[in-house]
Amino acid sequence: MVGSGVVTLVIAGIASLFMAWAIGAGSSGSTPFAPAVGANAISVMRAGFFVGLLGFLGAVMQGANVSEAVGTELIGGVQLTAIAATTGLLVAAILVAIGVFTGYPIATAFTVTGAIVGVGLAMGGDPAWAKYRQISALWILTPFVGSSIAYSTAKLLRSERTAERVVIPLLGGVVGLIIANIEFVVLGPPDVSQSIAEAAANALALPPVAGVEVGYVLVSLGVGGLVAGVLGWDVHRNLEAGQRHFLLALGSLVAFSAGGSQVGLAIGPLVPLLDPFEIPLVPVLVGGGLGLLAGSWTGAPRMIKAIAQDYSALGPRRSIAALIPSFAIAQVAVLYGIPVSFNEIIVSAIVGSGYAAEGSGVSREKMVYTVLAWLASLALAIGVGYGVFTLIEMVG
C-alpha cells in the first residue's frame, strides 16, 4: 500500500510540474512584463528571462496561501486523492497548453478551479459555496476595478494639468505603501507570514496611540516615502529614464506576485497528499517555482508578444497605469488565498489604460473572443474534470 501511495504521489507530482510549466508559459510568464514590452522598455526574450526568476522567488515566498486554498477549500466533505489531483491537474494543464499554442490567453485560474471542482464533485464532495462566493466576487470585480484604476491613472499621467515629475513619484509612494504591507513567509515566525511593516513595528515596539499602531503606520509611510523620494530623484534627473525604471520595477513586482499566486494553481491539489508522507510545503513550493521558471523561459515569449501587441498599442504612461492595479489586485488575491487569473487582471488593465487614449489600439473583437474563452474554459474544465474522473472510477 505504501509503495502504491508513493507511485500515485509521484504521478501527481509530474502532473503538477506539467501544470506549472503550462502556467509559466502562459499567464504568469507572459502577462507581468507584457505592458513593458509593449512600451519598448524591455525586449521579449529578456522579459521572459526575468519573469521566470521573479516568479520563482514569488512562488517560494508567497505561494502558501493560494496553494492551501486550491488543495483544501474548493470542495467540501471529501479530500482529494492522488488520482483525483492528477486528473484535475492534467485536464487543466491540457486546456492551458492549448491556449498557449493557439495564442489565446486562457484564464488559468478559471481552468484549474473548474477542473478541481469537477473532480471533487465526481468524488461525491459538496460545493464550497462560501469560497465560491469569495472567488467569484474577485473575478467579477477585477475587470471593473482594474480597468477603472488603469483608466484614471492613465488620464492623470496624460493630463496637461499635472506634471509627470510630480505624479510618478506619488504613484511610486502608493506602490511603496503596498510593498510595506505585503506578507512574506521569511519575515514571520514558523508557519506565519508577516509584512515589512509588521516585522519592523514589532522590532520598534512603540506603544499604540488612541488605538493606532504608531510603529506600523510610521514604517508604512517610511517605505512609501522612500520609494517616492528615489523615484522623484530619478524622474527629475531624466524623465524618460525614470519612466522606464518605474515601469520595469512594476513589471518585476507583478511577476513576483504572479509566482506567489499562480504556483498555488499547480501544486495546490498536492497539498492533501503531503501529510501522510510528512512532506513540508516549502520544498513543494520550490518545485512548483522551478516549473514556472521553466515555462517562462521556454514558452512565455509567444504569449508576451500576443498580449503586448494584440490588445493595445501601449506607451510608457499606459503601461504604468496598467501595472499598478495589476500589482495591487494580485496581492489582494495572495493575501486572501484566492486563485486569480493574471490574464484577466492584465488584459482588463491594458484595456482600461488604452481607453484613456480614446480606445487607441484596443481590439474589441479580440477582447470578445478572450472573454468567451475565459467563460468556456471554466465550464469546460468543470465538465471534463467531472466526466474524466467519473469514467476512471467506472473503469477502476
- The more confident residue out of 347 and 393 is 393
Query: What is the pLDDT averaged over residues 385-389?
Result: 92
* CA atoms within a 13 Å half-sphere pointing along the CA-CB vector of 214: 7
Candidates 331, 345, 341; CA nearest to 253 is 331
Distance of CA 60 to the CA centre of its chain: 13
The answer on pLDDT for 349 being more than 70 is: yes
The answer on pLDDT for 3 being more than 60 is: no
User: Taking the CA atoms of the chain, what radius of gyration do you get in angstroms?
Assistant: 21
Candidates 182, 119, 99; CA nearest to 392 is 119
The answer on pLDDT for 42 being more than 60 is: yes
Q: Where are the domains of the chain?
A: 2-395
In this structure, the number of other CB atoms found within 10 A of the CB of residue 297 comes to: 19
E runs forming strands in 54-182? 75-76, 126-127
Which residues lie closer than 8 Å to 145 by C-beta, 6 or more apart? 325, 329
Question: pLDDT of 199-219, one tens digit each?
Answer: 888 888 888 877 778 888 999
Query: What is the pLDDT averaged over residues 279-289?
Result: 89
Positive or negative CA dihedral for 366, 369, 372, 376? Answer: negative
Asked if 320 and 244 touch (Cβ cutoff 8 Å), the reply is no
pTM: 0.86
Q: Report residue 184 as a C-alpha cell.
A: 512574506
Query: What is the pLDDT averaged over residues 365-393?
Result: 84
**pLDDT, position 312:** 46
Helix/strand number for the chain, H first, E second? 17, 4
The mean predicted confidence, pLDDT, of the chain is 84
The region of weakest confidence among 34-48, 140-154, 339-353, 381-395 is 34-48
| Helical segments of 26-80, H only | 27-30, 34-38, 44-62, 64-72
Asked if 44 and 305 touch (Cβ cutoff 8 Å), the reply is yes
CA dist 112 and 120 (Å) reads 12
**pLDDT, position 332:** 92
Residue with cell 468543470: 382
Query: What is the pLDDT averaged over residues 177-181?
Result: 94
**pLDDT, position 311:** 47
Which residues lie closer than 8 Å to 208 by C-beta, 6 or more apart? 214
In terms of C-beta density within 10 A (0-12 exposed, 13-18 middle, 19 or more buried), how is residue 52 classed?
Answer: buried
Query: What is the pLDDT averaged over residues 157-184?
Result: 90
Query: What is the pLDDT averaged over residues 116-127?
Result: 93
The answer on pLDDT for 222 being more than 90 is: yes
- The more confident residue out of 370 and 177 is 177
- The more confident residue out of 105 and 371 is 371
CA dist 158 and 163 (Å) reads 9
Asked if 222 and 179 touch (Cβ cutoff 8 Å), the reply is no
The answer on pLDDT for 103 being more than 70 is: no
Supply the DSSP string of 310-365, one letter for each residue: HS----HHHHHHHHHHHHHHHHHHHHHT----HHHHHHHHHHHHHHTTTTTT--HH
CA dist 319 and 245 (Å) reads 12
Query: What is the pLDDT averaged over residues 66-91?
Result: 88
Candidates 109, 114, 82, 89; CA nearest to 4 is 82
The answer on pLDDT for 1 being more than 70 is: no
**pLDDT, position 289:** 92
Candidates 51, 15, 77, 79; CA nearest to 265 is 15
- The CA-to-CA distance between both ends of the chain, in Å, stands at 17
Per-residue pLDDT band for 310 (boundaries 50, 70, 90) equals low
Secondary structure element (H or E) that encloses residue 194, with its range: strand 194-195
**pLDDT, position 307:** 64
- The more confident residue out of 25 and 191 is 25
CA dist 110 and 375 (Å) reads 8
The answer on pLDDT for 371 being more than 90 is: no
- List C-alpha distances in Å: 52 to 172, 272, 298, 340, 342: 24, 27, 10, 19, 15
CA dist 125 and 340 (Å) reads 23
